[in-house]
Structure 1
């Protein structure tokens, strides 16, 4: 158990990829603060990890609000005494829209959570990490932060590029404090949200076009990458983007612009 007795905050930990990350880090011995906007979801995950509440707690927070992230850090310190790991997993997707149709409201919402929210979470935990002389921050970015989001909107792509820049800047700024900052960049993750959004037939068609390894990633596989970057084995790794994408970034295989435009037109028609 390479994270034995480390304390990890996982935002967006109440479902999907965040839940997978929480379970892997708990398996590796970490004590977990499961943070989510939905307290019931966070409580479900924390209780399933440790029904007694000694090694896992649930915290409600809207990470786009500084006061919530400060309370998140304070509650974690009160429960466990330290913060060793921050996993910035919480994020939102942009509404399906071509660039000329992106609204100011949606832009502000996506940037507010995906970029500003990560900044607030980092600001909340960095003092504790500095005080103890070490820490690990892992941002859940996206392959959209390396390339672009071919099945999402420009607001999402921009927000994930912001995460990439934030990761690299913080890695440089905090290196002399022994705080490592890295990012995991998933491709498609098979979560309940993805299953609800696209039929098995549509998912299979997308996989054939885009994923050389032939399937979406499992949430726990994102957790394995996070666990490594949060461990002592990664002490000399900082400022890096680790793609967990089944090879998607090697090339999409076809021009998907016509596919994207057709899909958006169909959605708008409904």
Structure 2
């Protein structure tokens, strides 16, 4: 491929923040963004995991820094992103990836569990997007926000998981709403909608051979996605190659939603 085309995916000089960057899809996204030239800020509630990712990126010659923070902590997020602006003078990309799942039938789910999932997956994502957008608008450089939704936000799913499905449906429409609200500030807001991905996040499901077989049978491609395949889509939406794309929900699902 001609280098002029590949340059459309380059992120040299950009500063990218990834929430939930310590593991799974977030870890893969951090590594992809760094490989494309971005300075990567790894945020995770688990500081050890965040530091491990940042060190692995630095060991390969790219720039990364880790911060321990929960997306439910508005003050903590403001402080961390303020440090990013102070250190680098800009914030160009937010990969809004932090999320939790508490799988339960609706009739059995406690309101405490419901509120926890909403706090992380919906409110936390909103807070990270809003704080980041304020910095992007103040700098006048625009930016790109990529939210992690899910095929469960666009379908009823395979298993009872009502809080997760509800929040991911909210992420879908929040993405569209923010894309329209911030388009005049040159901030693009998109989302990915991954299928079941081979990460620790669903280890409890795919550790059961019968469940794994059901998931594979429901996926036309017949397999789970790998974290790097989701990160490929994140890199695309964050890059100049997606300059005309905003308000889009991009399934990365092996055909799951096409059924």
**70-79 vs 138-147, which moves further:** 70-79
Residue 161 (structure 2) pairs with residue 142 (structure 1): no
Change in 2 beyond 3 A, CA 1:152/1:4: farther
**Partner of 1:103 in structure 2?**
110
Q: Partner residue of 2:122?
A: 115
Q: Where do 5+ consecutive residues of structure 1 fail to align? A: 252-270
> TM-score when scaled to structure 2?
0.91
Alignment CA distance shift 1:233-1:39 (3 Å): same
Alignment-derived partner of residue 184 in structure 2: 176
**Does residue 1:91 correspond to 2:91, yes or no?**
no
- Kindly indicate whether the alpha-carbon contact (under 8 Å) linking 2:140 and 2:185 is maintained by their aligned counterparts in 1: no
RMSD: 1.7
> Aligned pairs, how many?
250
CA-to-partner distance for each residue in 1:181-235, whole Å, 9 max, x for gaps? 0000000000134335432623541233211112111111111101110111111
**Any conservation in 2 of the 1:46–1:53 contact (CA below 8 Å)?**
no
Deviates more, 1:1-10 or 1:181-190: 1-10
- Normalising by structure 1, we get a TM-score of 0.88
Alignment of 1:115-264 (within 5 A): 115-130=122-137, 131-195=139-203, 197-199=205-207, 201-202=209-210, 204-251=212-259
Contact 2:106 2:160 in 1 (8 A): no
Asked whether the equivalents of residues 92 and 141 of structure 2 are also in contact (C-alpha less than 8 Å), the reply is no
User: 1:91-125: per-residue Cα shift (whole Å, max 9, x none)?
Assistant: 0002x321111211011000000000011101211
Deviation at 1:79, TM superposition (A): 2.7
Distance in 1 of aligned mates of 2:160 and 2:199? 17
Determine whether 1:11 maps to 2:19: yes
CA deviations on 1:43-75 (whole Å, 9 max, x unpaired) are 000000014997100011110121121122112
The separation in 2 between residues aligned to 1:222 and 1:156, in whole angstroms, is 19
Cα 1:192–1:154, aligned 2, differ >3 Å: closer, same or farther?
A: closer
Q: Is contact 2:11-2:33 (8 Å) kept? A: yes
Greater CA deviation, 96-105 or 228-237?
96-105
